[in-house]
Amino acid sequence: MENWRLKIARAAVFNSTVALTLALSLATSGSVTAQDGSAWLEAYRLPAARLIGEATSDTFAWRRLTVLTDSIGARLSGSAQLDRAIEWAVAEMRRDGLENVHTEPVTVPRWVRGSESADLVEPARQPVVMLGLGNSIGTTPDGVQAELLIVRSFNDLTANAQKVPGRIVLFNVDYTAYEETVAYRSDGPSRAARLGAVATLVRSVGPPGLRTPHTGALQYASDAPQIPAAAIATEDADRLQRMAERGLRLVVRLKMEAHFEADVESANVVGELRGRERPDEVVVVGGHLDSWDVGTGASDDGGGCIVTWEALRIMKKLNLRPRRTIRVVLWTNEENGTRGGIAYRDRHRSELSKHVLMLESDNGVARPLGFGFSGSEPARQTLRLVAGLLRGIGADAMMSGGGGADTSPSVREGRIPSLSLVVDDSKYFLVHHTHADTPDKIDPLEMAKCAAAVAVMAYVVADMPERLQ
Ligand SMILES: [Zn+2]
């Protein structure tokens, strides 16, 4: 990592470069944009330059993230730390001068990991580096001990179905892309249980790290017995695979205290910048405040919370009050229930038609590339033009696939255009859902650019004369 002084110096240089770039484009681009019906955009070049300049001229966002992650820590649903984070966010939003700051109650599950371990007991006793999967049941206090069956895919599981009863099944599936490989974590336990497995291990869903297991939620199917399930480090999966290929009989003992306790009260945190002309029309931005119980939830998703919240803080500081309301929502319980997103939809059902756009940042806060979008073609065209204001920071791409887990219940029901912040995620899945998800992995300047991207997008959509279609 670079040292601090260097980073701050880079930020300052960067800031003046961006301001200059935008000033130049302001002077030269009028005739080009007027031809494609985007003359209205000209009015936003200066506010966009100011928002970018303010966001990237200091490391406020990253420092705020370190307070959340270092001083409060991991924030699993139902935990005292998540309650503390909610109280802290409310107090800080008020201190920023945001309006209508409040919490909206959400009942959330409380899953508790307890202590846990996995050991190879035959042919030689050795620990296996593991993390229980979220929502898993536990084992008996003695643990579950059984011969291991390693499969490389669901097809491989089916082909070996007769060997499964009484075994612990390890899904040793190479990581390709998160959306693909995650099926083994979420569905693997029930698929193995249906065939008679007594427990499931899954190769961590992520690229090989330094013997770092990745947790994450499983989903028990209603028609399968529930069996305990854990992720193991990629190195441990490889080691077990090598031993099996040498013809060794492998026996594993898994011990987990994981269990659910009674549901508890949590909350989404809401703050606003009220619109000056059409306050009932709303642009929602946000990230999820809950995290897994390992690491400190910096990339997933403390960073997403802070950069979306920053958008409002910066506007307030610059005295930019848009025509419509911008609302930041820090969602609760994304990781193991999505009840925050569902509760928001239910509570705001009658106002969903007034939601102009919903934006979620839940892909980390590394170098921003642009946005994923879901919605109508006219809206996509408009947002593509707005994203053009972010060319100076390289965040002007408009891709398909908007939204996020928390916004999707409202987006689906209200047919609301939706965006996701898209960043360079080449390092994200190394630390995702691990003990290594701490703020030192995040570059303060790239994080500031994420805040700038969200701020410009939210401001222009909330302020532009015609409502986004
Ligand atoms: Zn997340």
pLDDT tens for 122-164 read: 999 999 999 999 999 999 999 999 999 999 999 999 999 999 9
At residue 3, the pLDDT reads 42
**Mean pLDDT throughout 171-186?**
96
Per-residue pLDDT of 260-285, as tens digits, reads: 999 999 999 999 999 999 999 999 99
Q: What is the dihedral of CA 455, 456, 459, 465, to 10 degrees?
A: -170
User: What is the model's pLDDT at position 120?
Assistant: 98
Ligand 1 centroid to 449 CA: how many Å?
19
Band (pLDDT 50/70/90 cuts) for residue 469 is confident
Q: How confident is the model at residue 36 (pLDDT cuts 50, 70, 90)?
A: low
pLDDT recorded at residue 4: 38
Query: Looking up tokens 């700051």, which residue turns up?
Result: 101
pLDDT in tens, 95-119: 999 999 999 999 999 999 999 999 9
pLDDT at 249: 98
What one-letter code names the amino acid at 197? A
Q: How much distance in Å is there from the Cα of 136 to the middle of ligand 1?
A: 19
The residue assigned the tokens 């820090």 is: 330
Whole-number Å distance, alpha carbon 287 to ligand 1 midpoint, is: 8
Kindly provide the residue ranges of all beta strands, DSSP E only, lying in 274-367, ordered along the sequence. 278-288, 324-331, 355-360
Radius of gyration of the chain (CA): 24
pLDDT > 90: what percent of the chain? 90
Active-site residue, selected from the candidate residues 334, 335, 360, 446? 334
| pLDDT tens readout for residues 179-223 | 999 999 999 999 999 999 999 999 999 999 899 999 999 999 999
Active-site residue 334, yes or no? yes
Q: How many CB atoms lie within 10 A of CB 399?
A: 12
Q: How far is the CA of 332 from the centre of ligand 1 (A)?
A: 11
φ and ψ at 350, to 5 degrees?
Answer: -70, -15
Å from CA of 363 to ligand 1 middle = 7
- List residues bridging with 264 in a β-sheet: 108
What is the pLDDT, as a whole number, of residue 9? 40
Q: Measured between alpha carbons, how far is 429 from 209 in angstroms, rounded to an integer?
A: 10
**What spacing in Å lies between the alpha carbon of 290 and ligand 1's midpoint?**
8
**What would the pLDDT profile of 321-354 be if each residue is shown by its tens digit?**
999 999 999 999 999 999 999 999 999 999 999 9
Where residue 35 falls among pLDDT bands split at 50, 70, 90? low
- Give the global pTM: 0.92
What single string gives the DSSP state of each residue in 151-215? ESSHHHHHHTGGG-TTPEEEE------HHHHHHHHHTHHHHHHHTT-SEEEEE-SSS--SS----
CB neighbours of 297 closer than 8 A, spacing ≥ 6? 69, 74, 75, 290, 291, 437
pLDDT of residue 31: 41
pLDDT-derived band at 403, boundaries 50, 70, 90: confident
Strand order in the sheet with 168-171: 126-128, 116-122, 251-256, 144-151, 168-171, 199-203, 229-232, 130-132
Give the pLDDT confidence score for residue 30 in this predicted structure: 42
pLDDT of residue 318: 98
* Alpha helices, DSSP H, located in 327-407: 339-347, 377-387
pLDDT of residue 245: 98
Query: Across the chain, what does the average pLDDT equal?
Result: 93
Q: How far apart are CA 52 and CA 26, in angstroms?
A: 15
* Residue 1's pLDDT band (cuts 50, 70, 90): very low
Residue 165 has pLDDT above 90, yes or no: yes
3 state SS of 225? coil
Read off the pLDDT of residues 15-29 as tens digits, 9 standing for 90 and up.
Answer: 444 544 544 444 344
Q: What is the Å distance from ligand 1's center to 210 Cα?
A: 22
